Amino acid sequence: MGVTRYLKIWVGGAILFALVICGLAAPYMASYDPQEQMLEHRLRPPSWGGGRSGAHWLGTDNLGRDILSRIIYGSRISLLVGATTVILAGFVGCFLGALAGYFGNLTDEIISKVTEIFLAFPFLLLAIALMAFLGQGLLNLILALMLSRWVQYCRVVRGEVLSLKERDFVVAARALGGRDLYVLLRHVLPNAFASVTVIATFAMAIVIIAEASLSFLGLGVPPSIPTWGSMLSEGRVYMYRAPWLTIFPGLAIFITVFGINLLGDGLRDMFDPKLRGQR
């Protein structure tokens, strides 16, 4: 019962776990330096697809770099950017959202207006504008994505806090003389945690896609760091001649996002009491 019931969480979690292992153990798993160019071996097809060299499982790119090794190293950037952004945006968003919901009045007005300003811009457009302003770089990338992502947490947490603060146990805690910060941290926020986890998981998938999009546009990390997005971007010129340059990084993005979304879906099912009852 347990396994089938949480199948989504198991599968999604397994994919994410495999990816984390990939990222952490990249130097041991990749058989080549991802930046090493072997011009003589350029545009070799995958070894199982009739390629002459058994050495390159997923083939080589336009400069003779091993695609598998680049995908393995690329997972580091995707995960690093995904996880850091989601955590940072989570902190900022939850903090401001809780303030707005709990204190209401002017605090709420100000924070809500700011979130509305951010929401007025489409997510990717905002990220592109911020990257153009900040310039290339890993830290800038994380910062830009975080700035365009915190709003969602803020809105959800504010809503949760608004309804939670009227509940009896919160009123009781306050009546017993609990200070605001104590009540907020001890009684209100823990109850909003389930929703935040679900948002965070979905946000991670979105951020990974955004990172790939920005790298594809040449606005992400510098070209010396392999990422899935920049692999797609460099490979698209060779789409007809050597489709494996784009297919495999594309698949990597697809599988990662699929896994994380599955996990998020599973978590939502688990936390949502209404859905729990139906199963």
Alpha carbons 116 and 242: distance in angstroms, whole number: 45
Q: Is 218 in the site for another protein (CB under 8 A)?
A: yes
* Site residues (CB under 8 A) for another protein, limited to 64-93: 64
Q: Is 140 in the site for another protein (CB under 8 A)?
A: no
Mapped onto helix, strand or coil, the DSSP state of residue 148 is: coil
What's the min distance (Å) between Cβ of 5 and another protein? 47
Q: Is 132 in the site for another protein (CB under 8 A)?
A: no
What's the min distance (Å) between Cβ of 124 and another protein? 20
Q: Is 13 in the site for another protein (CB under 8 A)?
A: no
Mapped onto helix, strand or coil, the DSSP state of residue 60 is: strand
Taking the CB of residue 112, how many other CB atoms lie within 10 A of it? 17
On whether the CB atoms of residues 111 and 96 are closer than 8 A, the answer is yes
Name residues whose C-beta falls within 8 Å of residue 17's C-beta, 6 or more positions apart in sequence.
none
Give me Rg for the CA atoms of the chain: 22
Q: Is 236 in the site for another protein (CB under 8 A)?
A: yes
On whether the CB atoms of residues 224 and 216 are closer than 8 A, the answer is no
Alpha carbons 256 and 75: distance in angstroms, whole number: 9
What's the min distance (Å) between Cβ of 203 and another protein? 31
Nearer to another protein, 62 or 112 (CB): 62
Q: Is 224 in the site for another protein (CB under 8 A)?
A: yes
How many residues bind another protein, per CB under 8 A? 21
What's the min distance (Å) between Cβ of 56 and another protein? 16
Which residues here bind another protein, judged by CB under 8 A?
35-37, 39-40, 42-43, 62-64, 218, 222-224, 234, 236-241
